[in-house]
Amino acid sequence: MKIQGINGAAGIAIGKAFVLPSWEWDLPDQKMDSVDLAQEFERLYEGIRTSKDEIEYIKNEFKEVVGPEESSIFDAHLAILEDPVFMNEIRGIIERQYKAAEVAVKEAIDHFVTMFDLLEDEYMKERAIDIKDVGNRLLKHLLGAPEITLPSDTQPYVLVAKELSPSQLAHLNPTHVLGIVTLIGGKTSHSAIMARALGIPLVSGLEASLGMPVETGDMLVVDGDNGLVFTDPDRKTIERYTMLRSKQLKKKEQLQVLATVDAVTKDGAVLHLASNISSVKELDLALKQGAKGVGLFRTEFLYMDRATFPGEQEQYEVYRLVAEKTAGQSVVIRTLDIGGDKQLDYFELPEEDNPFLGYRAIRISLDRKDLFKTQLTAILRASAAGNVKIMYPMISSVEELQQANEILREAMSDLDERGLSYDPHIQVGIMIEVPAAVMIADLLAEEADFFSIGTNDLVQYVLAVDRMNEQIAHMYHPYHPAVLRMLRATADAAHTAGIDVSVCGEMAGDERAIPLWLELGIRHLSMSPQSLLRVKHRVLNTTASAAKEEARKCFALRTSGDIEERLQVFNDSTGSPDEQSGSNAS
């Protein structure tokens, strides 16, 4: 049986299932005739202290495996135990309803989980799992319940669970767990983030179609690339995925030798392939894949999964570390880009009918000058340690760019007064991701040091299509003629002004687009670490003159379907790692 889910972490797993039991709390929902409030509060506080100690221990253990960024997920768990709203709810139930501490905790968990489940924002909905995780830990200590453990003395297995908490994932041994299947969860859940860090394939979101008919010992195939799970697979399916997994491993080995090779076409055109990152851990992976610096550092992830905004020193230390690790290569740090699909638990944004057209990105930064100036100061300080650049998101007018630069100058003056070093000639660029910016690209090029085209948002805004809306997602076409014209207009304006232009959206990691970049004179691309070697392989096996000719034909076509088809045919003609020797790699 083939079941479609959500591709939480890439990879293929084939093996027998181990079904993880869920926490079940059978608690009496009744008032106590006589309750010692002081005793119940003491039990509660002791449970909280023990839970905090345990979370700190798990965090430190997990940090040794995946690094500080991913392990900081547990800071959010500590914050829940200190959250006054959550704790007041528990205390109120004990005090006003005369219920035992464990009953109060359970009712509070249920209350907040229900609230989060009703939210439309997927990121916020998935925080319900964190509340349950913390609540279950607290209940475990209040009731003296044993930990739910995973087998470590069996053959490697596919872990199946209704939902998998970060605490449970932190205890996983990747050598024992081939893959993970969960009924609840999505791409932005903490469990998905941790599974990706551990390199374990994960498919989630199967609740509607699967229920829980899988039993321990059942054979499963997990396709984390496409979000598919096969229960009781037939021999052909197992053979097909076994072969596919072998091919993936072979291709990975073949591509890895390209890490130290420059991306140069057969006729000498050079492309600079940098990486998009959200953490230091991701930078380490990018550098192993041969990234030429960081083309986009998404700083908003420093602000997530915590209780308050990060301070100047905390941000500075992260930015400085990234600058040092890149050893003189360019690091483009994008200022805070929240709003739309990116929310912060502790920063309440207004409810909007059209959040993607509302209070977000640079608009928030200019409105909250205190937060913006703190971040700019931290970035400036880090510029003394490497080749750091600043990039503003969602600029749509010259005025916005000028206002942002004025605050930057204030931050520079403050650092001068404090006697702290920074690069006084730091380059400042902008994201080109709204049509207005494209239409005045010539004016913006007079004020900016560089452009970076964010194709993800640009395509959505140009076509008026929300690609997360299932009813119209089929209308999201990155190769729409209108998008190609926007790319050309932006590149032309940058070249005329003599400033650099790069691409940092998903199109940068699509090897089919290489002919377009060559024709447009765009030589800097920034993509996910996982895309670097694949794109580099295509560049090495491409002849720039032929690619440009193909691109010119694409610019003359009238439909996105025709453009995609032509680019796909050209892309296929360059071969795959299995078909090409990659002679340019020597």
Give the residue extent of every domain in the chain: 22-143, 157-253, 257-585
Residue 580 tokens read as 């090409």
- What is the arithmetic mean of pLDDT over 380-408? 98
Of the candidates 190, 272, 524, 537, the residue annotated as catalytic is 190
Note the pLDDT of residue 469. Answer: 62
Q: Which residues, 6 or more positions from 18, have their beta carbon under 8 angstroms from its beta carbon?
A: 150, 151, 154, 157, 158, 159, 160, 216
55 pLDDT higher than 80: yes
Contact predicate 135/163, CB 8 Å: no
- Rounded to an integer, what distance in angstroms lies between the CA atom of residue 464 and that of residue 397? 20
Q: Which of 372, 315, 307, 375 is nearest to 345 (CA)?
A: 307
Note the pLDDT of residue 34. Answer: 65
In sequence order, what E strands does 155-301 have?
157-161, 177-182, 202-204, 219-223, 228-231, 263-264, 270-277, 294-298
Q: Half-sphere exposure of 40 toward its Cβ, with a 13 Å CA cutoff?
A: 21
Q: Which amino acid is at 23?
A: W
Which helix (H) or strand (E) segment is 17 a member of? strand 12-19
* Structural domain 257-585, CATH architecture: Alpha-Beta Barrel (3.20)
- Rounded to an integer, what distance in angstroms lies between the CA atom of residue 547 and that of residue 519? 8
**Percent residues over pLDDT 70 in the chain:** 90
Give the distance between the most distant pair of CA atoms in the chain.
86
CA 14 to chain centre: 26
Distances (CA, A) of 351 to 119, 308, 359, 467, 498: 12, 21, 10, 21, 41
Contact predicate 506/458, CB 8 Å: no
Q: Which amino acid is at 51?
A: S
Lowest mean per-residue pLDDT among 63-67, 158-162, 202-206, 505-509: 63-67
Asked about 272 being catalytic, the answer comes back as no
DSSP tag of 350: P
Tell me the pLDDT band of 185, cut-offs 50, 70 and 90. Answer: confident
Q: Which of 129, 185, 167 is nearest to 5 (CA)?
A: 185
C-beta atoms surrounding 212 within 10 Å: 13
Contact predicate 526/295, CB 8 Å: yes
Residue 58 tokens read as 């798990």
571 pLDDT higher than 80: yes
Residue found by looking up tokens 């750091």 in the block: 388
Lowest mean per-residue pLDDT among 6-15, 542-551, 568-577: 568-577
* Choice between 394 and 530, residue whose per-residue pLDDT is larger: 394
- Which of 334-343, 490-499, 568-577 is the most confident on average? 490-499
- Rounded to an integer, what distance in angstroms lies between the CA atom of residue 137 and that of residue 262? 50
Strand order in the sheet with 202-204: 2-4, 228-231, 219-223, 12-19, 157-161, 177-182, 202-204, 6-9
Tell me the pLDDT band of 67, cut-offs 50, 70 and 90. Answer: low
Instruction: For the domain covering 22-143, report its CATH number.
Output: 1.10.274.10
CA triplet 265, 267, 271: central angle to 5 degrees? 35
Tell me the pLDDT band of 75, cut-offs 50, 70 and 90. Answer: confident
- Rounded to an integer, what distance in angstroms lies between the CA atom of residue 495 and that of residue 386? 26
Q: Which of 492, 485, 509, 462 is nearest to 557 (CA)?
A: 485
Note the pLDDT of residue 539. Answer: 97
pLDDT digits (tens, 9 = 90+) for 471-493: 676 788 999 999 999 999 999 99
262 pLDDT higher than 50: yes
Asked about 554 being catalytic, the answer comes back as no
- Rounded to an integer, what distance in angstroms lies between the CA atom of residue 583 and that of residue 578? 13
Residue 267 tokens read as 């006729």
Contact predicate 376/408, CB 8 Å: yes
* Structural domain 157-253, CATH architecture: 3-Layer(bba) Sandwich (3.50)
Q: What is the b/e burial string over 428-447, where b = at least 16 CB atoms within 10 angstroms of the residue's CB?
A: bbbbbbbbebbeebeebbee
Of the candidates 504, 524, 537, 554, the residue annotated as catalytic is 504
Q: Would you say the C-alpha torsion 433, 194, 349, 363 has a positive or negative sign? A: negative
- Rounded to an integer, what distance in angstroms lies between the CA atom of residue 577 and that of residue 583? 11
pLDDT digits (tens, 9 = 90+) for 349-365: 888 878 788 999 999 99
- What is the arithmetic mean of pLDDT over 341-353? 78
Q: Which of 53, 318, 58, 296 is nearest to 169 (CA)?
A: 58
Torsion of CA 442, 445, 451, 453, to 10 degrees: -20
Distances (CA, A) of 448 to 2, 239, 426, 485, 499: 51, 54, 11, 21, 8
* Choice between 174 and 244, residue whose per-residue pLDDT is larger: 244
582 pLDDT higher than 60: no
pLDDT digits (tens, 9 = 90+) for 153-184: 678 999 998 888 777 777 777 788 999 998 88
Note the pLDDT of residue 580. Answer: 42
If DSSP codes are grouped into helix, strand and coil, which group holds residue 287? helix
- Rounded to an integer, what distance in angstroms lies between the CA atom of residue 10 and that of residue 199? 8
Lowest mean per-residue pLDDT among 194-198, 309-313, 340-344, 432-436: 340-344
Q: What mean pLDDT value characterizes the chain?
A: 89
pTM over 0.85: no
